[in-house]
Amino acid sequence: MKSAVLSVVFLAALVEFTSNAASAQRGLSNGPSPDPSSGPSDTMVAQESANLDPGELFRDCDNCPELVVVPPGDFVMGSNDTPYEKPEHPISIRKSFAIGRREVTFAEWDQCADTGACKVRPEDHGWGRGERPVINVSWEDSKLFVAWLSKRTGQKYRLPSEAEWEYAARAGTRTPFWWGREVGAGHAQCDTCGSPSKQQVVPAGSFRPNGFGLYDTSGNAAEWVEDCWNDSYRNAPRDASPSTSGDCRLRVLRGGNFLSKASDVRSSARFRYDVDVRYYANGFRVLRELP
């Protein structure tokens, strides 16, 4: 009798485990995810001859940033919500690219600082380093990191353009947030996002990813992109290239940060900051070009 009861309990536990695992794989879990550094990973280390498909995860070395392959496609960039986001305009992404699945972390940055290629070891504001997104880095600092990573791997790393960033952040959606029209709760780290931790960055990947597999495109740390600042998209490139005219002493930040209100972590929201100024809410993610 005991044996039969134990068998039933075991089978029930097995069914529940399988169901939970399947839901997690489809991105159906709500609220903060477990520690992103724990558990097995399906990420491979890319080989020279690897044929990388959309959605595939890879790294160029064991401790390089984790990347996800984003497919080509079309989308409407911008919104009519603020003058800075107008006019809405169609953009074609004609070629796949790989982009950091998470914002660059302190652990990844410190490797660059250890070599001397990155000139600063930024302050973590007392919140911890490791898997938290690196903050207190300027646009110029971020350019040193992508140059170091390119040299280290033999691949072409850079900052994404605004168009590439928004396309990846939207992941095929047209709503203000990639998860829907309302901010809700438990989707992002921002001031009015119903986040469990207030007024600080949290470990990268603490919330579920968008449809392309990217974490934290809303909130946590604001992300530098390549573009020079312009007050609107009136003269913006009509392809995925960055804007190289305008006020180039100011560069664009996307995604908002942990201090932002919900309206400022929308997929279309954009900001500006001086290229050489470090701020405790600003970080970045990398883009890696594909052959």
Tens digits of per-residue pLDDT, 228-258?
A: 999 999 999 999 999 999 999 999 999 999 9
pLDDT, tens only, 179-189: 999 999 999 99
Question: What does pLDDT average to over the chain?
Answer: 87
What number of other Cβ atoms are within 10 A of residue 43's Cβ? 15
Task: Output the pLDDT for position 48.
Answer: 53
Q: Give backbone dihedrals phi and psi of 53, rounded to 5 degrees, phi first.
A: -100, 155
CB 194 within 8 A of CB 185: yes
Q: Name the nearest CA neighbour of 98 among 132, 73, 72, 77.
A: 72
Tokens standing for residue 199: 């007024």
Q: In 3-state terms, what secondary structure has residue 139? A: helix
CB 177 within 8 A of CB 266: yes
CB 138 within 8 A of CB 277: yes
Mean of the pLDDT values across residues 276-287? 98
Task: Output the pLDDT for position 91.
Answer: 97
pLDDT, tens only, 138-165: 999 999 999 999 999 999 999 999 999 9
d(CA 290, CA 281): 30
Which pTM was predicted? 0.85
Mean of the pLDDT values across residues 47-71? 89
Mean of the pLDDT values across residues 54-76? 97
DSSP class of 143: H
Task: Output the pLDDT for position 264.
Answer: 98
Residue 90 has pLDDT above 90, yes or no: yes
Q: Name the nearest CA neighbour of 91 among 175, 165, 158.
A: 165
Which has more confidence, 285 or 9? 285
Residue 14 has pLDDT above 70, yes or no: no
DSSP class of 122: -
Residue 49 has pLDDT above 70, yes or no: no
User: Quick one: pLDDT band at residue 175, thresholds 50, 70, 90?
Assistant: very high
Half-sphere exposure of 13 (CA within 13 A, CB side): 6
User: Quick one: pLDDT band at residue 197, thresholds 50, 70, 90?
Assistant: confident
Q: 167: which residues sit within 8 A by CB, 6+ positions away?
A: 70, 73, 75, 77, 91, 93, 240
Residue 27 has pLDDT above 60, yes or no: no
Mean of the pLDDT values across residues 23-40? 37
- CA separation (Å) from 175 to 190, 217, 261? 18, 14, 17
Let me know if 13 is exposed, middle or buried by CB neighbors in 10 A (0-12, 13-18, 19+): exposed
Task: Output the pLDDT for position 47.
Answer: 58
Task: Output the pLDDT for position 196.
Answer: 80
Percentage of the chain exceeding pLDDT 70: 84
Task: Output the pLDDT for position 45.
Answer: 78
d(CA 173, CA 170): 5
Q: 235: which residues sit within 8 A by CB, 6+ positions away?
A: 245
d(CA 190, CA 197): 9
Residue 206 has pLDDT above 50, yes or no: yes
Tell me the residue ranges of DSSP E strands in the chain. 44-45, 57-59, 67-70, 73-77, 89-93, 97-100, 157-158, 222-229, 247-254, 270-274, 282-284, 287-289
What number of other Cβ atoms are within 10 A of residue 239's Cβ? 11
Q: In 3-state terms, what secondary structure has residue 289? A: strand
